[in-house]
Amino acid sequence: MRKILIVGNWKMHLNASQASLLLHRLQERIPGRRDIEIVLAPSMLSLQPLSVQVDRRKFRLASQNAYWRDEGPFTGEVSFTMIRDLVSYAIVGHSERRHVFNEDLETIKNKMAAAVRNEIMPILCVGETKQDRDDGETKQVLHDQLMSALSNLTAGEVQDSVIAYEPVWAISDGSNYTEHIVAKPHQVAEAVNYIRRYVTDVFGEKAGKQVRVLYGGSTVPEIVSGFLDVEGVDGFLVGGASLNYQVFTDIIEAAWRWQRKGGKE
C-alpha cells in the first residue's frame, strides 16, 4: 500500500520570516495524520530555520535542489551533504532546473546518485514540453529522462524514490496558477502508467509497485479526488497553490476526504 504524498514546492518565494509564518499557519490548521505524508520544500535559505520550527509529526522537509559534489570549489552551490540533516527529500530535475538553468541528463543523474548517497529520498521530476507532446515524443522524453536519472540506482533505491510526472505545458509561469491549464486525467494516466511500467521492466515488480508517482502539474483542490482516482497516481507536487495556507490545506483535506471514502478500491 503506497502512502499518499503531497509536496509543497515554494519555488523562489518567501523570505525567511514569511516562510516561518506560512509554516506556523499550516501547523495550526493541519493535524498530524499517519495516512498522508506532507512535505514542504522552501528555499535553501529557509531550510535551516524551518528545520528547527517544523513539527515532524506533521511535515517533513525537502530541498528544491542541491549540487551533486559533496564539497569543493563550487562557488554559490550547496551540496546534498550539507543539507542531509535538514531534509528527508530533495526535488531533483524539476522542469525549471532543466529548462531555465539548462540542467542536462548527466547532471540530473549525478544529483540522483548524490541524494541517495546522502540518504535523502529524491523526488525525480520528469515530463515533456508542449512541443514534445505535439511531436508525439512524450514517451520517448519520459524514457530518456528515466533511463538516465535512474541508471546509477539499485532496485531498492528506486523503490524508495518518488517520481513526479510534470507535464511542462501544465505548469504555471507564476502569474496565476488558478487559471492555468491542467492536464486531463487520461493524459496523466497514460504517462504515469508508462513511468511505472518502465520502473517495473528495468528494476522489477517490487520497485514498480512501490515507487510513488505524483502529479506535478498545476494543482488546485478541485482536481485532487479526480486525479487520485487515476491508477498509479499517489499524490501531488504542488507549486503556486502551496504558498497559500488556505488553498494548500484544502488540497490536503480533499485528499483526506478521498481516502476516507475508500481511496483506490
Chain contacts with ligand 13P (rule: CB under 6 A): 9, 94, 166, 171-172, 177, 180, 216, 218-219, 237-241
Phi and psi dihedrals of 180, rounded to 5?
A: -80, 155
- Closer by beta carbon to ligand 13P, 91 or else 113: 91
- Closer by beta carbon to ligand 13P, 75 or else 175: 175
Phi and psi dihedrals of 8, rounded to 5?
A: -100, 115
- Closer by beta carbon to ligand 13P, 188 or else 207: 188
Question: CB of residue 216 vs ligand 13P: minimum separation in angstroms?
Answer: 5
Question: CB of residue 75 vs ligand 13P: minimum separation in angstroms?
Answer: 26
- Closer by beta carbon to ligand 13P, 191 or else 237: 237
- Closer by beta carbon to ligand 13P, 208 or else 235: 235
44-53 and 16-29 helices, crossing angle to 10°: 40
Question: CB of residue 52 vs ligand 13P: minimum separation in angstroms?
Answer: 25
Strand partners, 39: 7, 60
Question: CB of residue 243 vs ligand 13P: minimum separation in angstroms?
Answer: 9
CB-closest chain residue to ligand 13P: 239
Question: CB of residue 10 vs ligand 13P: minimum separation in angstroms?
Answer: 10
Distance of alpha carbon 117 from the chain centroid: 19
Query: Which of 37, 128, 157, 166 is an active site residue?
Result: 166
Query: Which of 37, 94, 128, 157 is an active site residue?
Result: 94
Please confirm, yes or no, whether 94 is among the known catalytic residues: yes
Catalytic residue set: 94, 166
